[in-house]
Amino acid sequence: MNILSQNTAFGGMQGVFSHQSEATGTEMTFAVFVPPQAINEKRPVLWYLSGLTCTHANVMEKGEYRRMAAELGLIVVCPDTSPRGNDVADELTNWKMGKGAGMYLNATEKPWAEHYQMYSYITEELPALIAEQFRADMDRQGIFGHSMGGHGAMTIALKNPQRFKSCSAFAPIVNPLTADWTQDAFEKYLGPDRAKWREYDACALVEDGARFPEFLIDQGKADSFLETGLAPWKFEEAVKGTDIALTLRMHERYDHSYYFISTFMEDHLKWHAERLG
């Protein structure tokens, strides 16, 4: 693991690191905030997955999480959203596909399958590195994210309920099978058989029997992607009749930006801290 930067913030450490990933076959960059309590003891880990076009830096610079994470004693890990490099497949004129748009899945189709193995990277490789390099209590993990990252957080939690104790999302893509900004990418990454897409769709996973205790979703009513890309009411419908608890909060005037995310960031951190202990 290479140290790219380290800065003191609220008594803790905000770092940016890189390493050579076996899952993606590329160098991957990620950010970690370590709270001051980790000097003396292992602390819970909260994963934040970013949205389309983002890197680790977007939430690190605009998410405003450090003060509350330091107060609550949470380690916050912010991975990149896709593999990167000159040899990595991409569509330069399509921001919904390729670099910055890994969708947190394992691609099966050429040329994407060679490097786009973000599900394995997030669920297996990077956690092993975090456990090795930081004073992290891997028995207390939560996960959240924004937009594409909210999709990633929810699907990963539903598929790994034994690992995660909490999951929340800001404006998540809850139903990629029908969302206008994911169908093209899913077909290119996973092929035309939509049955294979269900493994990475929160609504479909619930319909197919996956379970997670509870979710918190915050969504802005002024979000320009609300109707065609996000539609959180579809997940609300999917969990009806199950034992999954859902808190869906719809907010007047808020859009899809980090102004929205930073406004409710402390709520999410406190919500996770209560469940992580």
The 8-class DSSP code of residue 230 comes to I
Q: What is the mean pLDDT of residues 20-24?
A: 98
The CATH number linked to 74 is: 3.40.50.1820
Beta-carbon-side half-sphere exposure of residue 195 (alpha carbons within 13 Å): 1
**If pLDDT is split at 50, 70 and 90, which confidence band does 181 have?**
confident
Q: Domain count for the chain, please give it.
A: 1
What are 232-269's pLDDT values in tens digits?
A: 999 999 999 999 999 999 999 999 999 999 999 999 99
Q: What is the mean pLDDT of residues 106-127?
A: 98
Predicted pLDDT of residue 39 = 93
Active site members = 147, 223, 256
- Averaged pLDDT of the chain: 97
DSSP strand pairing (2-9 vs 12-20): antiparallel
Question: At residue 9, does pLDDT exceed 90?
Answer: yes
Residues 256, 224 contacting (CB under 8 angstroms): yes
**If pLDDT is split at 50, 70 and 90, which confidence band does 176 have?**
very high
CA distances to 6, 24, 111, 254 from 193, rounded to whole Å, are 45, 24, 17, 36
**If pLDDT is split at 50, 70 and 90, which confidence band does 136 have?**
very high
Which residue range(s) make up the domain with 13?
1-274
Q: What is the mean pLDDT of residues 23-48?
A: 98
Give the angle subtended at the CA of 172 by the CAs of 116 and 184, to the nearest 5°: 45
Percent of the chain's residues with pLDDT above 90: 99
Q: What is the mean pLDDT of residues 93-102?
A: 96
Phi, psi dihedral angles at 78 (to 5 degrees): -125, 95
